[in-house]
Structure formats: C-alpha cells, structure tokens
Structure 1
Amino acid sequence: MLILECPYCGVKGEETEFTGGGEAHLKRFGPGASDDDFHGYLFKRENPKGVHLERWRHTNGCGKWFHAARNTVTLEVYGTYPAQTTEPPKDIKDKISARVPGWSWREFS
C-alpha cells in the first residue's frame, strides 16, 4: 500500500485517501490544437517499470491536485510536490538518483 503526503495540507495517509490521476507533467493543449497534438496527449503515455511521476488528488482532504514520484515496482514513494511545478524538485530528483542509479529526468514536449 502507498503512503502519500499531501504537500498542501500536510496530511499523510494511505492511497485510499487519495485518487490517482495518471502521468504528471504532460503538456495539455487548448482550443486550436492540431489533431496530432491531441492524439499525443491522449495516447502517448509512459507506463514504466520503475520510477514514475504521477498526479494525485487529495480526495478525502483538501481536494487539491499534486504530483508524486514513486517506484512502480517497489511502491517506494520518493516524495510529493505541488501540481503547479513543471518538474520534480531537486531534492526529489537527488533522492531518486541515489536509489535508482542511471535514472534521469525525462524532458516533456
């Protein structure tokens, strides 16, 4: 079971306290976007074995969206951070790199 901590209200709880929202840091396209851009947004997702950056919502608490860095194999949570962040904070990247040698931040387009 995952134990997550909401970066907004500080509540730490089991994953049942939260709702998963898919991959984090995807570029969302507005009106006027091309069909290719929209297709890529809907269907080109990472599904890694290992480190994954995800969106979560504190459903049974403050209701805010945030991001979590976790390992899909070990269920280790490296940290959580606000959803308005464009990439994981340095301390979380460093923690992941220390635990998963060779991991690197994937640039999103």
Structure 2
Amino acid sequence: MALTLETTHAINEICRIKYNLRSPRDNRCGIVWNEDKQPVMVDGVKIPVTQSIFDIVQMSYTDRIRCPYIVHMKPIQRQRGVAKDCDHIYQVQSHYLSKQFSKIRDKVGVVRE
C-alpha cells in the first residue's frame, strides 16, 4: 500500500510492477533504473524513483518470498493455482488490494464530504 500512496498510481498498475524490467516495453509495468539520471522519452507514465520509493522496493525483498512482482504476498491458505488475472501464485490481485484499502479507510474513519 505504501507504494500506491507514494507513486499515486492506480491499483491495477501497482499490482503489475515487476522487479526485473530493464527497459521500457509495451503493456509492461515496472521500474526502469536510469543510471545516468538523464530524461528519457518513453510511452506511458514515468515517475522519478525517489528515495522513499527505492526504500519501499528494497523492503519488499525482506520477506524472502520469491516473486517477480514488487507487490506480492504469500496466500493465507493453499490455493488451487494462480489466481485469475495473475501469472504468479504470489502476485496480488488488484481487487484484493482495493478491498484492503477500503478496510483501512473505514477503520481510520476517512469519510467523503
């Protein structure tokens, strides 16, 4: 959730960001590390990788779950395979993340005006 708040990207995009994207590709979401820090023109949305985003990505490595996606989780119960709209067993579905945001929003009392 921290990555979504920091980047302000949509949940669908956040759930598809991979660690290993080395260059921009069509229909792929990921962090492309720009070593020389010079602007590069690519199609799609581009955000700078701030120290905060870098820290969030590094923290996602600490759970020792081997998954190509930055946003991932180990299933609570054994599943019958890969979930719909996913290509890895530990990938988080966007509707699950959206439901978790809603639960936290309701718990802390955020209301629309």
TM-score relative to the length of structure 1: 0.28
Decide which structure has the larger Cα Rg and report it.
2
Structure with more of its chain in helix, by fraction: 2
TM-score by length of 2: 0.28
Is the strand fraction higher in 1 or 2? 1
